[in-house]
Amino acid sequence: MKTRNAKVPDISNIPSGANKEKILEKAELLNKLSIFNNTPSSLQYVPIETLEYLGGCSNHAIRAKIQGKDSQREFLIRLPGSQSELMIDRASEKYNTDIVADLELCPRILESYDKGELNGFKVEEFLQGKSLNFDNFKTFQDKALAALKKVHDCGKIFKTEYNIFDRIIMMCETLKANGIKFLAYNKREKQVSLDRIIEVIESLKKKAADLFGQPNLVPCHNDISPFNFMLVSDQEKKDEIQIIDWEYSGMNDRMVDLAYIASENGYTSRTEVEKLLTSYFNKTPEKEDIDKVLFYIPLIDLKVSVWALMQVHMRNESKEIEGLRKGWGPERFAKFIERTQSPDFQAVVAQLDTEFLLKPKE
């Protein structure tokens, strides 16, 4: 079949705070996607009428609309953020997403690339729904946790394993290799060295092994927040939950996913965590599971703070960068310190007859 290079429409609604030049530079490759051409693929060529910028942080989401004779069809196109390949295995993402799509819990990827100049580009059906948020997550929490548990219990094996300790160390080492030595916090008035963070993570990794032994690995999202749960309503399914963005997915302890949800929603006391796990398991949770989530919660904050530092220094072109630099990243590191010093966290590590207090070397 002959390839036809279609004209790519202009992208509308790119916010003023984003690096429009960089985004449009990536968009120059869009006409190489099958969605814009009648090349052999799972997609049939139909001219794209409009492209609308939806946002993103480490990537950019573009909604593509086509109008056929009888109906309108929409796709979601991902433009990868700068140097996102340093942290994301795109081939594993595709493999793992296909498993979740088979469970009917996320849109199926129609076209994606894991190498070459299109590495990180992705096309999928546009999901008609709304992301949950911090305000309404509790309303739909049972449905969201049931969907996540279905993935955890599916019995499939995701490509790659995800270890939160090793992931944080890897990000710190990548930053150090690029000349970044410190992470600022406390309104950027203080800083801690990445070498010190690595020391702390290695200590916590050993404590986790001593406390909990080897975890039972299941398919996990590893980057889950209320915004990754989409509420979808249609004539056949009422208020169903889909889970999006499986970039960091891999085999892991399910308690890391649940700690992510707890951390993002502010469930940090033993009582709150017990309620969350009761909803997830639909029964009274085991003490060790509560302990695990309480142990992992501060690690989520540390991971997010180091991830934010990477975004800032990877020439990310998103409008969210200033927020990551001035607020989100430093604030999450301050939360890490606060939560490791909480009575509930200390009660967990006290089982080893030790305590853990981070004393940054400033």
pLDDT at residue number 313 = 76
pLDDT at residue number 355 = 47
pTM above 0.75, yes or no: yes
Out of 3.40.50.720, 3.40.50.300, 3.30.540.10, 3.90.1200.10, which CATH number does the structure's domain 137-352 have? Answer: 3.90.1200.10
Phi, psi dihedrals of residue 206, rounded to the nearest 5°? -65, -40
238: pLDDT confidence band, cut at 50, 70 and 90?
Answer: low
Cα separation, 280 vs 175, whole angstroms = 36
Closest listed residue to residue 73, CA positions, set 97, 52, 49:
49
pLDDT at residue number 203 = 92
Whether residue 157 is predicted with pLDDT greater than 70 in this model: the reply is yes
CB 332 within 8 Å of CB 303? no
Cα separation, 255 vs 300, whole angstroms = 11
Neighbours of 134 (CB within 10 A): 12
Q: Where are the domains of the chain?
A: 11-81+109-126, 137-352
Provide the token pair at 258.
Answer: 């649940």
- Matching residue, tokens 């019995």: 155
pLDDT at residue number 237 = 56
Strands laid side by side in the 229-232 sheet = 130-131, 229-232, 240-243
Question: Which range has the worst mean pLDDT, 14-18, 46-50, 209-213, 248-252?
Answer: 46-50
pLDDT at residue number 1 = 38
Question: Which range has the worst mean pLDDT, 38-47, 111-120, 216-225?
Answer: 38-47
Nearest-5° angle of CA 299, CA 138, CA 59? Answer: 55
Provide the token pair at 230.
Answer: 């989409």
pLDDT at residue number 32 = 87
223: pLDDT confidence band, cut at 50, 70 and 90?
Answer: very high
Chain centre to alpha carbon of residue 272: 23
Select the more confidently predicted residue: 181 or 12.
Answer: 181
pLDDT at residue number 3 = 45
352: pLDDT confidence band, cut at 50, 70 and 90?
Answer: low
281: pLDDT confidence band, cut at 50, 70 and 90?
Answer: very high
